[in-house]
Amino acid sequence: MSTRQNRLFAALRPVSFAVSAAAALLSSVPLAQANPHILVDVQSGRVIEHEEAFRKWYPASLTKLMTVYTTFDAIRSGQISLDTPIVMSKQAAAQPAAKMYYKPGQKLTLDSALKILMVKSANDIAVAVAEAVAGTQDAFVLRMNAEAVKLGMTDSHFVNPNGLPGKGQYTTARDLAILTVALRRDFPQYAGYFALEGFTNGKTNTPSINLLIGRFAGADGMKTGFICASGFNQIGSATRNGRTVVSVVLGTDSLAARADATANLLEKAFSSPTSSGDTLRSLKPYGPGQDAVTDISADICSAKGAKVRSETRDEVGRMKVQSPYIHEMDHEPNFVFAGLIPGQDPQPDKTTKADAIGDAANVPVPLPRPTSF
């Protein structure tokens, strides 16, 4: 194992659990005020809890779930398969980090590409997949938006397949919940992609940054995302005794906060009976923020935001999760293969500052993140 791999494991595996006896109560770790969120039962589509679910928000890397849904639909129609080679183009290779640093012309299977998308959230891979499915990124984005309309995501619009900042890209907690439920219902055969503990290219192991996978009972997905304007976001899913619930949490101020909020919501769902109230379809628009996209950059990418994030680390840099429902992983992560098709150039092993912080390297190191993932 390389020195860099050792650092990855040292940063990810230890999680400081700063909880007291009182923290055993679900209400002891409430969601931050005014964070849009929603909690849904997948089988019934019933909404268990919601707040500001129609506030427009930048989707960041949660966008990649729309990319994956569009790709799954292309597989279903026979346009592409999991064995299809994905060729890196110049445009894909030029995407900002987080990325895999593959060279133009290098190839990997769609199966490997999907694993990398879900674990590392690689922006170059998202563009390469889009081009393989639709010919061009622009044509793929048209498909993304067409799929969103068909799903009933009435307050969403996408301008790229990776979630990097772009004018006209927005969504809501309610729409993201619709997408997540659709992924679970329409493509159950691909659920394993969302529950991966990590991937390996044979030389480097990359663990998932989703702190619930392997650490929350029943956790099986789905995706994290961050840009300055949207803060730290997470879509979570978990299944217990045949019941699957999903949560969407937007705009938290740290990696730890989004993990805590997601765990607390999912646990609340399992301790609550199936709601008899609104479904995702019947929930009516309400609240502020429906006319313009919320931008919280000043709270996140600032000295104030950096101070908040520093307070979520202990003295040795371990993340201090507060939720009593997140526990230490009791086994070594299971790394599945995802990498270039054999016989090509050696796998890249390049890390920039942008890759080394947060979602990019999938390691919660104690640094603010100046770029987007």
Q: Which is the catalytic residue, given 16, 56, 64, 254?
A: 64
First to last CA, the chain: 27
Q: What angle do CA 211, 193, 361 make, to 5 degrees?
A: 45
Query: How high is the pLDDT of residue 373?
Result: 38
> Taking the CB of residue 187, how many other CB atoms lie within 10 A of it?
17
Determine contact, residues 353/99, Cβ cutoff 8 Å. no
Q: Burial, 306: exposed, middle or buried (Cβ in 10 Å; 0-12, 13-18, 19+)?
A: middle
Determine the structural domain holding residue 290 and report its residue range.
Answer: 12-337
**Residue 239 is assigned to a structural domain of this protein:** yes
DSSP β-ladder status, 37-41 and 198-200? unpaired
Per-residue pLDDT reduced to its tens digit, 67-124: 999 999 999 999 999 999 999 999 999 999 999 999 999 999 999 999 999 999 999 9
Active site residue 247: no
Active site residue 61: yes
Q: Which is the catalytic residue, given 16, 61, 230, 372?
A: 61
Per-residue pLDDT reduced to its tens digit, 249-268: 999 999 999 999 999 999 99
**Residue 29 is assigned to a structural domain of this protein:** yes
**Residue 357 is assigned to a structural domain of this protein:** no
Q: Which amino acid is at 171?
A: T
Distance CA 70, CA 58 (A): 19
Active site residue 271: no
Helix (H) or strand (E) holding 178: helix 173-186
The rounded percent of the chain whose pLDDT value lies above 90 is 74
**Residue 137 is assigned to a structural domain of this protein:** yes
How many domains does the structure of the chain reveal? Answer: 1
**Residue 367 is assigned to a structural domain of this protein:** no
For residues 49-66, average pLDDT? 97
**Residue 162 is assigned to a structural domain of this protein:** yes
Token digits for 76? Answer: 């279903």
Question: Domain holding 134: CATH number?
Answer: 3.40.710.10
Q: Burial, 316: exposed, middle or buried (Cβ in 10 Å; 0-12, 13-18, 19+)?
A: exposed
For residues 5-24, average pLDDT? 41
Q: Which is the catalytic residue, given 16, 112, 121, 230?
A: 121
Residues in contact with 365: Cβ distance below 8 Å, sequence separation at least 6, in sequence order: 11, 317, 356, 357, 358
Residues in contact with 269: Cβ distance below 8 Å, sequence separation at least 6, in sequence order: 39, 41, 48, 245, 247
**Residue 299 is assigned to a structural domain of this protein:** yes
Distance CA 42, CA 46 (A): 7
User: What are the two backbone dihedrals, phi and then psi, of residue 15, each rounded to the nearest 5 degrees?
Assistant: -125, 125
Where is average pLDDT lowest: 49-58, 139-148, 211-220, 309-318?
309-318
Per-residue pLDDT reduced to its tens digit, 134-155: 999 999 999 999 999 999 999 9
> For residue 309, what pLDDT band results from cuts at 50, 70 and 90?
confident
**Residue 169 is assigned to a structural domain of this protein:** yes
More confident residue, 354 or 180: 180
For residues 26-44, average pLDDT? 69
For residues 37-42, average pLDDT? 97
